[in-house]
Structure 1
């Protein structure tokens, strides 16, 4: 379709004429569609021509060109006609469009008409883009942009953004294309101008479809659909329905949804008489059915699309229809027929990268299934050649804007040899840089592996050393516990029994003897001292290995221990399940040592002992209100070192917090690490 005046060209499914330089078939179809639009615009042109001369009636464009050459028009009228001729020809004959645009630009600049100067600059840029000369198109567009901004002409500015985006799209610079399409959309949205937004939204969706980002394309297609319905743009609506059918296919929507969109598009284009896009809708419908493995339906539709495309005479449309036919036959298992159709596609001289990739893939796989390895290799080599050529072309198109300008200005000097040499140096530089990066990457990886191995070895050595220390500490603790148990038993059963026997025998020694009062006092004092010795012996034996700890557990033994110390208060939280014997002994010894340290050094008036026992951990805290100390600057004594060693033997954590207000030592043991 010919775009509305203002420079809005589609980049997606909205039209195929602006993707590359139009071929002869495209120009023929453009003329057919152009005639429909011309019926509307021709009336104004006729009226304008009649105002120039009473003998001029409704004429065609050639007549208007003749009127322009008579020299009987004012400068303003000449500018108006040149503007229309420039715009109408840009989709049919880029050379003539550029010619009339430059004539109009010269007149506009002479008269100081800023608006028309910007308009001609923009239109000439569009014409160069339609002719495939993108670098020159960018130069004219950049000259037009500041004029549009100074005039606050948002329509012209949106058209410039849109054409920028189209140029970036054909250069595969999709990020820049999206940015400029969004700028065009924002410009129109800011002025609530919905006439051009349908196409802009479709263009944005088209970029996302090219990038296979169909979910981001969907919201823009929905917006375009609503606007097309609101503005009664059946052509635009039909194109949106084709895109929605294709997007739904990619997103896995139900078959009926994609089928309905394609059928709606066919109906709309049938009503508008646009046979080209009606055929594109038919192709989409065929693709939907073969995608859902309904080949009996897809094959007749694809064949019908091929026949119609050939009748229309559009090489690109024919290639698209044949590609769908080749795909359908391939998935149906007719590999020989699929290959024949694929070769027919190559004969159309299509330059569409997606079509060529698709066709060579079909040829490689079909010949592989048919048992023709030589042909498979042949087409694989051709595919690689095509891919390499496309990569080179893409790289050339992505050169900086400054370099493009330089090359454009120097075309007349024919510096092809220098350009090729420059490209060679670039590729050699890129290759060298890649090799250097690969070498650096390998060196870095080897270095990191060496560092990792060294760190692992160091960690393993540290782990083994820690295990040795823990085993030694555990053995020491086990020996200490065993020795304490033996000493406690010996003291209680041996020495304790002997002292008890002495106490029982002393009264018998006294017998009925009459003692002096002094001797009686001494005897009673000796008996008292013997009682104290027995009591002290029992206390020592109890603390060395408290019987309540072995029989009743931590809660009872620590309650007894704290009850014997006036300053101490014991708090217990959690369940009362018994812990492993070694752990209970370790916890008891640690608390015993910490409380003794407070009594010896802290000058405290209150000691809080807290034990928290849970299913997966045990923690205990000893807190006092004494004078405290500085853990960072004070060397730990033997008592704290022993406690820390015992805790580490059970893979626990010890934390010391001390200040002038007191000291708190918290120890936590993870029971899961000991299972």
Structure 2
């Protein structure tokens, strides 16, 4: 969006007014609050009030259009009473511009018509150029590109007679932007170049920032233009952030997003799109909000986040359905999005709406006819009217537009069918991969179940069988000795044998316990892991969350994984401390084993059987495992999602 320039404001008089009443003096484009304070506290003449209302109306147009309308209406009332038709024309222009910013285009056209008629009646050519330029923006936003160029070229003719570089710079930018939307980048670059020369000549940073935005939008579609596109967008963002204009800053963020998106850098593109949306919501500018949602929709589609893409596209349409270019973009994306989601009815609906929107597009012949009109303006320098433009457009364009429409529809239909075929093939491949993964997981789960059952059996056999036998031996040995007298050496050996038998019984119980810990089956993960870590001097256990019991298989898997990870740390890390952390939430379970040992290089050291077994166990429960290792230690983190069934068991 072109910015609105400040004009016809007697700043010296306003400065004297503020100083006279002890109010902080306003700085150009900086302190609108000071002007409002002047209205409330100073005794101003009607002429002075009109000047203040002009500055407030213009200052709030882009970022707070509703406040701009409030001050414009108050200033218009005073101007009518004073018979100041020039100021009356200015306030009508501000009203039309503020309605344009709020995307209320019918109201904008009403006030711009009044402003243009009054400016021509009074011979105010400066106001006439501004109003014609605003008309160009309005028609361009609505997709009426021939009308937009007609208004812009009328403004060029008057601006050249006035030798008003500021006005010409803005109008050249508008013409370049219109040609860019028509995909005629040769003409777009020509007019952006003319605007850039003027901005550099007068060192106008604001205009230069807007021009850099436009150049970025053009170069991102040029072959080898990536660096230029990103460079111009970043320079524009710096300029507009310094100026404090939120709407221009948002436009720069959206343009930078588009540059990264064009070159498949979707993460950076999404970052700038979300930042732009946040600022756009703060300003309340519906068109900027809608464009931000459209950007997020396009990026999400290529990131294969189809649900989010569809949701953002629909919000964009609901927010602003008046922007022709925005509708065309969203309508062309939604059929593809719904094709991926398998919603064929919705796909057909939006494909039909896309075909309807395509009817408004122009073809190459139509663009060339508009270029010829521009040449006529440049060479003959005579008044052109809307009726003449319509006739010439019909003469050169009807057949071309009809043919281009049919061709575009046919190509779009063929493209949709191709994408549907590709989508079906990809869905089939994805289903095949899913079934293979499920088969692998079933096999791993069966292996884990068998292992758990075997461990349980062995633990029971060791404890109940061999453990009982050893205990019986221990009880009977003293009886075998009876009252027999033994030498001192034999007594010592006998006592040693009893001690070794005690140690064997304890070791057997420890092995049986770790194969299938009784505390795990009785009390759950928290108690069993706490007992396990307490037995290791350098291990510390931390537990967070609720203590609801989980399915037995899941608890055994978590216990075995932590047991293996701690043993690995003891064997290989050579550290002084091991931290075990378990977090249990209603929908999530995670655990971490961290040591301060020597670590290892994940890229050069292959995983051993222990880590591979842990990965298989975690994968069997659809979990994720991450390893972080450096010279300061190793951290292994496992994340598991719990279903309602898991949480309530």
Structure 2 length as normaliser, TM-score? 0.46
Q: Over alpha carbons, which structure has the higher Rg?
A: 1
